[in-house]
Chains A and B, each alone.
Chain A
Amino acid sequence: EVQLVESGGGLVQPGGSLRLSCAASGFTVSSNYMNWVRQAPGKGLEWVSILYSGGNTYYADSVKGRFTISRDNSKNTVYLQMNSVRAEDTAVYYCARKQDFYRNHDAFDIWGQGTMVTVSS
């Protein structure tokens, strides 16, 4: 079965760090475009970061310089290292695969269940 399972969320103090994990099954993360998308309580969806199969990474301006996306091919797992967190980083964080359907028309086709991150003192 193709699925993504996130873990690692929790309560963290402002300025602290947290690492989220996203374990994939049924496909290989290194061959796919893996993303993090977040949703603040009661708010809409915000794309956070992408890790391309070739290794290139991109970030939303709101997290650039603070968050790092990476993967461990041996564990078929993607990570989001969150440093210098702020109250506005409080959200459910989803891991999502971006599938290239044809001619670069791609979309987030597989999503995890999400993991909650709360930044508060």
Chain B
Amino acid sequence: DIQMTQSPFSLSASVGDRVTITCRASQSITQYLNWYQQKAGKAPKLLIYAASTLHTGVPSRFSGSGSGTDFTLTISSLQSEDFATYYCQQSYSTPFTFGPGTKVDIK
């Protein structure tokens, strides 16, 4: 099975900050990497698929990059509605594993 790790586990940031979250796969997944946002008590929402393609309706302050084993999610200017937990997920092979999540909260 492909293991996914994320760093940091959590971070505190202010509105307007640039935030970067890293995701690493235990083997190459080329660009079969997706990012999700989950707010407390809600279902996850798809942000980015195929490592760097923004899903419909997602603000352009979100961006993704990477290939192989190392990936990043960047929020260029953090907004109040972005405080949430972010998960990466590989779609290269079953089981479709998720990273442990990165919680972004208010500094």
Contacts and interface: CB of A to CB of B under 8 A. Distances in A.
Interface of A: 35, 44-47, 50, 58, 60-61, 94, 98, 101-102, 104-109, 111-114
A107 B46 contact: yes
Contact of B87 (A35, A44, A61, A102): A44
Nearest to B6: A44
Given A44-B100, A107-B34, A107-B91, A94 B49 contact: no
A107 B89 contact: yes
A58 B55 CA distance: 26
Kindly state the interface size class of chain B when it binds its partner.
20 to 34
Contacts of B87: 44-45
Contact of A112 (B31, B43, B97): B43
Given A44-B87, A44-B101, A101 B43 contact: no
A94 B43 CA distance: 8
18 contacts: A45-B36, A45-B38, A45-B44, A45-B101, A47-B94, A58-B95, A60-B95, A61-B95, A94-B44, A98-B91, A98-B96, A101-B49, A102-B50, A105-B31, A107-B91, A108-B34, A108-B44, A109-B55
A1 to B, nearest CB: 14
Interface in B71-105: 87, 89, 91, 94-101
B53 interface: yes
- List the 9 closest A-B pairs by CB distance, nearest first: A111-B43, A105-B50, A107-B49, A107-B34, A47-B96, A45-B98, A58-B94, A44-B101, A60-B95
A106 to B, nearest CB: 5
